[in-house]
């Protein structure tokens, strides 16, 4: 049984961030219909948690629940290959930050960036831990501190993942289509 106080807190915290929740779930799952289910599940979890939770940063708090709901959802409904790859350690192997920036031209990115479909495909192709940080930063507009809270990751890791995500995207966009 949910108390009135929890419902009041819920009303103040969750519905105002439903667009952010949907956008995050959309990019994590890659599918609009799945995103709706994930957000509904996250909203239910949030309502239950608000009996006791003390929320300081509502948006980061709710997006963290959305993210965890997405992980659970994908573990249940997607084949293993699509689920989040292990930990941070795998990432170094996937895509080191590319220091050889000068070999490639920013102009190539600018040209490729004209093609919206190509940009969206490139985002979808990012490894999930990079994609979620990129989404939270560029699409949800969260500060580093909020991203750290939403992903339960140290801020240094957030920074390096974001740099990797952008470097990887740059590389994808610089390649011939």
Partner 1 sequence: MSDSGPRDDKLLRLNAALDDELDAAHRLELERELARDPQLRAALRRFSAVSEAVRRHAPREQAPAALRATVAALGRPKQKARRAYLPIAAALAAGVVIGAAAQALLAPSRAADPVAAALAADFARAELSDRPYDVASADRHVVKPWLATRAPLGVEAVDLGDKGYPLAGGRVAVVGATSVPTLVYQRREHWIAVTELPLALAGGPAGAREGTFNGFRVVRWADRERGYVAVSDIDADELAAFVAAFRGAEATNGGEAR
CB of 60 to partner 1, least distance (A): 14
Cβ proximity to partner 1: between 72 and 160 the closer is 160
CB of 139 to partner 1, least distance (A): 5
Cβ proximity to partner 1: between 79 and 112 the closer is 112
Cβ proximity to partner 1: between 12 and 79 the closer is 12
Calculate Rg over the CA atoms of the chain: 18
**Sites of contact with partner 1 (CB under 8 A):** 2, 4-5, 7-16, 18-23, 26-27, 32, 36, 39-40, 43-44, 47, 58, 88-89, 91-92, 96-97, 99, 101-102, 104-106, 109-110, 112-113, 116, 119-120, 123, 134, 137-141, 143-144, 157, 159-160, 162-163, 166-167, 169-170, 173
Cβ proximity to partner 1: between 74 and 131 the closer is 131
Q: Which own/partner pairs from 37-45 qualify as long-range (CB within 8 Å, at least 24 positions apart)?
A: 37/73, 38/66, 38/69, 38/70, 38/73, 39/66, 39/69, 41/69, 41/72, 41/73, 42/66, 42/68, 42/69, 42/70, 43/14, 43/18, 45/69
Cβ proximity to partner 1: between 40 and 80 the closer is 40
CB of 155 to partner 1, least distance (A): 9
What is the residue whose two structure tokens read 């011939």? 176
How far lies 97's CA from each of 15, 29, 71, in Å?
37, 25, 26
What is the residue whose two structure tokens read 């994930």? 38
């Amino acid at each position: 049984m949910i108390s009135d106080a929890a419902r009041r807190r819920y009303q103040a915290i969750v519905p105002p961030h439903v667009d952010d929740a949907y956008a995050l779930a959309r990019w994590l799952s890659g599918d609009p219909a799945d995103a709706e289910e994930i957000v509904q599940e996250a909203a239910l979890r949030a309502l239950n948690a608000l009996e006791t939770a003390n929320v300081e940063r509502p948006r980061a708090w709710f997006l963290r629940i959305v993210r965890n709901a997405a992980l659970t959802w994908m573990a249940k409904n997607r084949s293993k290959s699509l689920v989040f790859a292990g930990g941070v350690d795998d990432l170094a192997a996937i895509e080191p930050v590319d220091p050889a920036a000068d070999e490639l031209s920013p102009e190539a990115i600018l040209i490729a960036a004209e093609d919206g479909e190509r940009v969206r495909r490139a985002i979808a192709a990012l490894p999930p831990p990079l994609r979620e940080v990129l989404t939270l930063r560029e699409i949800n507009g969260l500060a580093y501190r909020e991203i750290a809270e939403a992903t339960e990751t140290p801020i240094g890791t957030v920074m390096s993942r974001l740099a990797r995500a952008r470097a990887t995207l740059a590389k994808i966009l610089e390649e011939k289509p």
